Amino acid sequence: MNLDLRTMMVMIAALSLLFSGLLALAGLHAGSIRGVRQWATGSLLLGLGLAFSYTQLGPPANPWILVLGATLALAGTGFQYYGTRLFKTGYCNAYLPWLVAGAAFAVNSWFVVLHPDIHARVIANSLLFFLINAICAHELFIRMEQPLRTAYWFTGASFSVLAAMFLFRAVVIFLSPDNTYGLYTQIPLNPISFFIGGMAQMAIVFGFVLMLNYRLSADHQRLASTDALTGVMNRRSLELEASRLLARYVRSGETLAVMMIDVDHFKTINDRYGHMVGDEVLRHLTAVAQKSIRTGDYLARYGGEEFCILLPASVERDAWTLAERLRQVFAGSEIEYCGEMLRSTVSIGIADSTHAGLNFVSLLVAADKAMYQAKLAGRNRVSRHSNSVDA
């Protein structure tokens, strides 16, 4: 197989520049997802590094252009690591890619200008590339939910291939006799390593685009299933979860309890203090409810000032204990907004499938009637559906 080194360098440089533009455009629509711009910068620097190196293929070569090309390419890899960390954790030391660029500049200045030694230069650069790509691969081989894990591991595997290629290249050149290696000499190592490196780099960028696509899809799905104001489940996602639970409980015979919560005199709060304060009351209620419920319970904003909690494997007695604790904590806490201090209360109705049946609509109707009874009885209290049934 006859692989022309010059053609491959041009193609890899052009593709890197195109990938940079693609990632920059994707970053405009990535919302709050971090790391995309850093990846675009990394691809840009890689492309420019190869482009500068290409201009020095024929003698006489300008040593400082060679230094610049290697520095840009290594800085591009450093920005890829920077972007990977930001994408994964949202945090990374901003000086890291510049430290990589500084190390690359120092190494190449020494072995190109001050003490020319092509063997040592290629070995040092290959080891630097190996180290950064291996660290990137290590960052991506983590346990996480599908399908994002597939994208992470594909990108990590591509980084691993690139790291292995650079390590192999460094070892081969280290073992070769002095003064026998040249970047543009006709030996199989050069075109093969450039071919593998180019393919791996394309796979890496493709993998990151896949990571970005899955992250955006997950974010959109989360937005569609949560309430924008409070951050808890919305009505649609609660109904889907209830259908899943009830289908299981029909087979197992377990009991499901439902709690309906309504803020007392909420319209009066909005009229007196404004809707911003009303929103703060709802957020405060959400925070209190989240601290009160158990692991495995489901809290949702059902509409307006009404909230609903699903209590799997629970009966009215369990729900009443939790509801009473929630009511007391909320009534006893103060809500501060722009210097204003106010208190609010809630009325809560509870029902379980023992009295209302394993049908979500019936459970909601029963809990809603119990909540209405709590309001008729004076508000700021918990009412059971079974009490009205017994009466």
pLDDT tens sequence across 69-125: 999 999 999 999 999 999 988 888 889 899 999 999 999 999 988 998 888 888 999
The chain-wide mean pLDDT, for the chain, equals 88
Predicted confidence at residue 58, as pLDDT, reads: 62
Categorize the per-residue pLDDT at 389 as very low, low, confident or very high, splitting at 50, 70 and 90. Answer: low
The residue from 145, 239, 254, 305 that is catalytic is: 305
The two three-digit tokens of residue 23, written as one number: 């990632």
Range name among 18-22, 41-45, 194-198, 364-368 with the lowest pLDDT average: 194-198
Predicted confidence at residue 178, as pLDDT, reads: 66
Predicted confidence at residue 148, as pLDDT, reads: 85
- Answer whether 40's CB lies under 8 Å from 84's CB: no
Q: Residue 305 catalytic?
A: yes
Characterise 314 by phi-psi region: left (phi > 0), alpha (psi -120 to 50), beta (else).
beta
Q: Return the ∠ at Cα 236 (arms to 230 and 240), rounded to 5°.
A: 120
- Answer whether 73's CB lies under 8 Å from 128's CB: no
Residue ranges of domains in the chain, CATH in brackets:
5-224 (1.20.1070), 235-390 (3.30.70.270)
Categorize the per-residue pLDDT at 9 as very low, low, confident or very high, splitting at 50, 70 and 90. Answer: confident
Segment 196-202 shows an average pLDDT of: 90
Q: Return the ∠ at Cα 381 (arms to 380 and 384), rounded to 5°.
A: 150
Segment 17-43 shows an average pLDDT of: 88
Segment 333-352 shows an average pLDDT of: 88
pTM for the model stands at 0.71
User: Cα separation of 374 and 385, whole Å?
Assistant: 10
Is the pLDDT at 391 greater than 50, yes or no? Answer: no
Instruction: Provide the pairing of β-strand 382-384 with 346-352.
Output: parallel
User: Cα separation of 154 and 165, whole Å?
Assistant: 17
Segment 268-283 shows an average pLDDT of: 90
User: Cα separation of 256 and 366, whole Å?
Assistant: 13
User: Cα separation of 379 and 265, whole Å?
Assistant: 9
Predicted confidence at residue 126, as pLDDT, reads: 93
User: Cα separation of 125 and 110, whole Å?
Assistant: 12
